[in-house]
Amino acid sequence: MNMENKKNNHIYSTTDTNKVVLTDEEWKNNLTPEVYYIARQKGTERPFTSKFETSNEIGTYYCAACGNPLFKSDAKFESGCGWPSFYEPISKAAIIYTPDNTHGMKRTETQCGRCKAHLGHIFEDGPKPTGLRFCINGVVLDFEKAKEAEKNYEEKGNE
Ligand SMILES: [Zn+2]
């Protein structure tokens, strides 16, 4: 997790479950321009640009805007669509689903359940057991490796 980006973000917490409601100006001050563009302006990162797209490290993915836990690496799969893909959220409350009829398409937008950051979209062509594909912008994800994975990694002497 890049804490350097977080030091100006006063609402970031991986344990606080209180809903976050800020003004646009406050979000601008809390987020990096990249995260702000996706999370608050419903932007989309270019496909195949996220390091998380093909990553298979064990751990937890959080909302980069507020720290809300969103997905476990167990639920991640390589869809080949160009964005990090998951078949289920970490909990029911983690994600909010909103109809999105922009760009001439009928889609369902996924938003962070804590701060309503735009995350991506959900499609019904995912793998079992859910058949769902959460297609998520990597820019709005923070990843934290599982403790055990972290330890093994350090023992191997990698940086
Ligand atoms: Zn959030």
pTM metric for this prediction:
0.89
Per the annotation, the verdict on 135 as an active-site residue is yes
pLDDT above 70 for 5:
no
Cβ burial of 126 (10 Å; 0-12, 13-18, 19+) is buried
- Tens of pLDDT, residue by residue over 31-60, are 999 999 999 999 999 999 999 999 999 999
- Tens of pLDDT, residue by residue over 125-143, are 999 999 999 999 999 999 9
Is residue 159 domain-resident? no
Domain containing residue 63: CATH number: 2.170.150.20
**Domain residues for 50?**
3-149
Is residue 156 domain-resident? no
Task: Tell me, in angstroms, the distance from the centre of ligand 1 to residue 67's CA.
Answer: 6
Is residue 94 domain-resident? yes
Contact 76, 53 (CB under 8 A): no
Task: Tell me, in angstroms, the distance from the centre of ligand 1 to residue 155's CA.
Answer: 33
Distance, in Å, from the CA atom of 39 to the CA atom of 141, rounded to the nearest integer, reads 10
Task: Tell me, in angstroms, the distance from the centre of ligand 1 to residue 26's CA.
Answer: 14
Is the four-CA dihedral 37, 43, 47, 50 of positive or negative sign?
A: positive
Is residue 32 domain-resident? yes
Number of domains in the chain: 1
Is residue 25 domain-resident? yes
Is residue 75 domain-resident? yes
| Ligand 1 ion: Cβ-proximal residues, 5 Å cutoff | 63, 65-66, 68, 112, 114-115, 117
Task: Tell me, in angstroms, the distance from the centre of ligand 1 to residue 48's CA.
Answer: 23
Is residue 97 domain-resident? yes
Is residue 78 domain-resident? yes
Peptide bond into 33 cis (omega under 30): no
